[in-house]
Amino acid sequence: MPKPHLFLSAIVLLTLLTYANAAASCQNSKLKDGEADLILKEINEARTKVRRGEQRNGYSGKNLPAAISLPDLVDHFQEWSCELEEEAYQYMDGICTGANKVDLNGKATITHGDYEEFFIPRILNKHLTAADFTELKSVEGGNVVYSAEGEIKGFANLMRAEATGIGCARYGCPDPQAPQGAFYAMVCLTDQQDIKETDIIYEAITEPNACPANAYISNSVRKAFLNWHNTLRTLIAIGVVANGETESQLKPATNMPKLVSLNDKLKRTDTRMMVTQCWWSELKNSSGLEESEYIYYGNQNINRFAKIASDLTTKIGCAVYDCTSFVNVVCHYDTTLGHGKPLYAAGLKCGECLKDCANGLCPYKAPGVDIWK
């Protein structure tokens, strides 16, 4: 008789995780080569669908709303959790059934079993496609909320915006009745508590001005991109940038505004800072700006540097697309460069700022709005 599929939820926050630098590098791991990466790939592809608003919401005829911020389980700081993988093996305790006898202190748990050895996509698919058949009905105040209807708990645990770490274990138990002589089971643990009724899965986009889910980045990465641009503008503002191949430095700026992000038409960014640095280096490789008024000319091949450095630029929005062999990054600025016009007003640092000054940059005042950003 076939053994039952495993799915359980056990119910605490993991206070300390040890993350490996590479998914398959955990000591004494019983996963086969590439399996940890495969697990992350399958889960993150499903999270991308939710993030972009492409995930069907049961038989409602609609998709789940796009997410404001839903990072991949693997991000810049947390990849595969070796500690969670080890705990998953302890959970299994050397058997493929009866795992509910172990107290997991509340960690979100995703389990399943199958008779085929190459079963990881099939096991994950049971949970990752659950929203295709079970509708999440509760969207309250812009939040997609979990309701315990149907077999959707595993999906909800894996799609939670707070989930940033995961570890899984697989185990094969001899079974003469199985086609390949064994029954296989897998347990995955995330770094969050097991989801409960009315818990928030993720925050949905409800306002037309919100940055879209297909921005491919979290708000924290968007902020990092903005900060990097402002760091480069500070170098101009305080007068420490070399003027191309000349032996002089560019003079400080009297009114260099601090950039703000734009949440409408220019709205997709990613953390490819080295691309911005490459654009910034255009001046270094040029003959330099005219030194009396720093006049910009369109034939100098410094267009990208000039857009970053112009004191008319106040807003930024970028897009990124990861291609097979390269990364394509495009940034838009709210500035049209004027041929034969000064790139910025040189003089006393912050000398013309209307209010305050930080790191050589003047605060940006939105037109028609009496607040400072």
Q: What is the DSSP string of 269-315?
A: --S-HHHHHHHHTTTTTSS---TTT-EE-GGGS-HHHHHHH-TT--E
Distance CA 204, CA 68 (A): 6
The answer to whether 146 touches 197, Cβ cutoff 8 Å, is yes
Domain limits of the chain? 35-203, 219-342
- In this structure, CATH architecture of domain 35-203: 3-Layer(aba) Sandwich (3.40)
Read off the pLDDT of residues 124-162 as tens digits, 9 standing for 90 and up. Answer: 888 899 999 999 877 656 789 998 777 899 999 999 888
Residue 130 in 3-state DSSP?
Answer: helix
Read off the pLDDT of residues 83-97 as tens digits, 9 standing for 90 and up. Answer: 888 888 787 776 665
Distance CA 20, CA 41 (A): 17
pTM of the model: 0.52
The answer to whether 342 touches 291, Cβ cutoff 8 Å, is no
Distance CA 229, CA 277 (A): 9
Fold matches, 35-203 and 219-342: yes
Residue 145 in 3-state DSSP?
Answer: strand
Q: Is 233 exposed, middle or buried (0-12, 13-18, 19+ CB in 10 A)?
A: buried
Fold of 219-342: Pathogenesis-related Protein p14a (3.40.33)
| C-beta atoms surrounding 214 within 10 Å | 14
Tens digits of pLDDT across the chain (373 residues): 333 322 222 211 121 222 233 344 677 787 888 888 888 888 888 988 888 788 999 998 989 988 876 665 543 324 578 888 888 878 777 666 544 444 466 666 666 666 565 567 777 888 899 999 999 877 656 789 998 777 899 999 999 888 888 888 887 777 766 666 667 778 888 888 889 888 999 888 765 444 554 445 556 567 777 888 888 899 999 999 999 888 799 999 999 998 886 543 333 333 345 556 677 788 888 888 888 889 988 888 898 899 989 999 988 887 665 555 556 677 778 888 888 899 999 999 999 888 788 889 998 765 543 333 3
Q: What is the DSSP string of 60-103?
A: SSSBPPPBS----SS-SS--BBHHHHHHHHHHHTT-SS-GGGS-
Rounded alpha-carbon distances, angstroms, from residue 171 to 182, 187, 208 = 10, 9, 47
Read off the pLDDT of residues 245-285 as tens digits, 9 standing for 90 and up. Answer: 887 999 999 999 988 865 433 333 333 455 566 777 888 88
